[in-house]
Amino acid sequence: MANNYRSLNWKPIAKSLLKIGVSGLLLYVVYKKLGNEQVLNLFTRLNWWYVVLAFIAFNIGQNFSVLRSGLFLKSVGVHLGHFEQIKLFYKGMLYNLILPGGIGGDGYKVLLIKRLMGVSAKSLVKIFLTERLAGMAAMCTYLGLFGLLGFREFAPWHYIAGGILLLGYPAFYVISFLPFIKLEKVVLATFFHCHLNQFFQIAAFLLLIQSAHIPFEPVTYGAVFLMSSIAIVIPISIGGVGLRESVFVLAASYLSINANAGVVSSVLFFLINATSSVFGLVLPDKIKFSDAEIINGTIE
């Protein structure tokens, strides 16, 4: 028993406990500031048809992510059918929620593909990291667009910020030419996949705001949602719980938004993500890889 106790890897357990603690603390601060009663009242008045539409929009967006991921995998010679890509992607979503670290899902995919296909871990880590950065660049593009369309009270800074952020994806495309990346073709090929995925994520969140029966400016709420999506990349909480809500509470101090609606919608968005990830449990474990045509010089 003592040997088993000592052999346990306490580092991931400690990380998970720390993240749970951070999420709990952030949620406590958020609800202390807003008041549980106001938030609960909003939950009781939700139009659940909008929540269902948000669930559908979210998963349509994920389907574009599946297609994007498939193109990245093809760049290193891993060819999967669409249903196999869906299985791999949703299992990755599930592991992102339940494993320590923000790249638990990508780590699972790297280990699985490396074991079954013999593709080098270095190549796989590179493409999954580049894929994430491509998604981040697409977020910056939308954030730049919203910055130009709204936030007039912050002129002329909103023009400057918008212009800088609109350069996000073009700059990332240029970076993809670097010798240690060399993924410019796949980055360009997945341009629309990245942007359509983000479009449907934003649409899903705005549908959740709509479900709360409050008047709202889509541009403002969309921009804060994107800022919160960037914030949750920081791996200090479980699935971003607490971080996204905190961003809305903070933003409400500067912008004309309803913090309660933002918090409720953030919680619902996480629940939609978690519910969708359950598909990773029910889908068959076995991933069937087609015979890969290894691209010369890509796989080390």
30 near 245, Cβ under 8 Å? yes
224: domain range? 36-282
User: For residue 9, is it within any domain?
Assistant: no
Could you tell me if 125 and 182 are in contact, meaning their C-beta atoms sit under 8 angstroms apart? no
CA gap 157, 34 in Å, rounded: 30
Name the amino acid, one letter, at 269: F
Flag whether 18 is in a domain. Answer: no
- pLDDT at res. 294: 31
The amino acid at 298: T
Mean pLDDT (the chain, rounded): 77
Q: In this predicted model, what pLDDT tens digit does every residue of 32-79 receive, in sequence order?
A: 555 566 667 777 788 989 999 999 999 999 999 999 999 998 888 888
Under the banding of pLDDT at 50, 70 and 90, the label for residue 209 is very high
Identify the pLDDT of residue 103.
55
Q: What is the pLDDT of residue 292?
A: 37
How much is the pLDDT for 296? 31
Structure tokens at 263: 């918090």
Residue 298 to residue 300: CA distance in whole angstroms: 6
**What pLDDT, on the 0 to 100 scale, is given for residue 207?**
96
- Per-residue pLDDT, averaged over 3-17, amounts to 53
- Measured distance CA(14)–CA(256) in Å, rounded: 39
Structure tokens at 67: 């297609």
**Number of domains the chain contains:** 1
Q: Specify if 245 maps to a domain.
A: yes
Q: Which helix (H) or strand (E) holds 106?
A: helix 104-117
**Residue 6 maps to a domain:** no
118-141 average pLDDT score: 87
User: Does residue 88 belong to any structural domain of this protein?
Assistant: yes
Q: Report the pLDDT averaged over residues 200-226.
A: 91
Model pLDDT for residues 226-252, shown as the tens digit of each residue: 988 888 776 655 556 667 878 888 888
**For residue 211, is it within any domain?**
yes
Whether 287 is in a domain gets the answer no
Max distance between CA atoms of the chain, in angstroms, equals: 66
For residue 279, give the DSSP letter. H
CA gap 261, 132 in Å, rounded: 28
Q: Is residue 215 situated within a structural domain?
A: yes
